[in-house]
Structure 1
Amino acid sequence: MPRVLTEADVADFRERLCLVAERLFAEKGLDAVTMRQLAAELGVSPMTPYRYFRDKDDILAAVRANGFDRFADALETARAAPGSARARGAAVGEAYVNFAFAHPNTYKLMFDLNQPHEEDYPDLVRANARARETLTGWVTDLIDEGVLAGDPVQIGAMFWASAHGAVVLEMAGKLPPGMARELHQAMNSALARGLRPAR
């Protein structure tokens, strides 16, 4: 008879499984990874992961939710720093690039993957919404201080698209190391100049 698992046991195994899954999903692609492979990587029986997750999509949703929460933590911390809205906005941009290059597997699974039936995973939906708010909140701060003018959601998406494009190009080896950060700063300055309120 299997021993009764405590909440700490379950949380620990789920975390270890998610770390292994994140690496394998990023290295091999979602379709190439099996539950059997995940179990083998952890040195457990092929059926063990099913005690903690329904299937591979459930694991992927947990991995991505964790990634979005960690990403949001980093950007929220940057936004909460003392200083002007402009300084905090710059800190958020820096935190974005830092997170992407410190956690490339997480970043790719968060933003370069279209997970079927995402709405079936409430924790993923919550974490994704939280992360998206971090991409808009700092823009609202700049609008409130009169630094920028326009729709904060649209402006946030513009800054996000420029940052993501530079990051992904460098990750793919299409830009030399460090160029994404330089491009990100230059594009942010250009966008900010174009979005200043009319005088």
Structure 2
Amino acid sequence: MEVSKSEHRHFVIYKPDGYLSQFKSHDSKQQSKKFLGSLHDFPEGIMAIGRLDEKSEGLLLLTTDGKMSDFVNSRKVEKEYYAQVDGNISEEAIQLLKEGVEIGFDGKKYQTRPCKAFKLKEVPDLPKRSKKIRDDRHGPTSWLSITLTEGKFRQVRKMTSAVGFPTLRLVRVRVGSIRLSAAMPGDVVEVRAFF
């Protein structure tokens, strides 16, 4: 039976760090992991649109609509991330990120597409993490915004590392016109539609 567009369900979630972007697993090696399914009673057929790795946090869209998932994952929809990086990131490194850098993906070299990137003037107002990140006593850190229209596995982390500033904390703050706003880790909101 095909579900009509009006019957699809959509959710906006603040994925906490330490959670996998899946709902459960039958893999015995993953039984100690935390899954999205423990945060809310989601409907059958729900899927994450794009993923955030276990250490990353922030805005994650969930839907029962495969066409919506394909659209959001396309290069038509921007995804913005705030990355706390090790060191005081230079303008030269930011320029390299904007132009695209070479990273490894599936055992091959991959040239990232041009993107938007800039250093944040202030530390963003984000909730505290469940696991603490090292602080400035161990050397300076800086924050930047990176906006992509692609999403390879661990791409932002690989990009900042490629320019010499490894990511310490990564938070997706926007997908298209949807922003993280004042949500707290673990918050789940059902919405009528995304766009």
Of structures 1 and 2, the one with the larger relative CO (CA 8 A, separation 6+) is 2
Q: TM-score, normalised by structure 1?
A: 0.25
Q: How high is the TM-score relative to the length of structure 2?
A: 0.25
Q: Which has the higher helix share?
A: 1
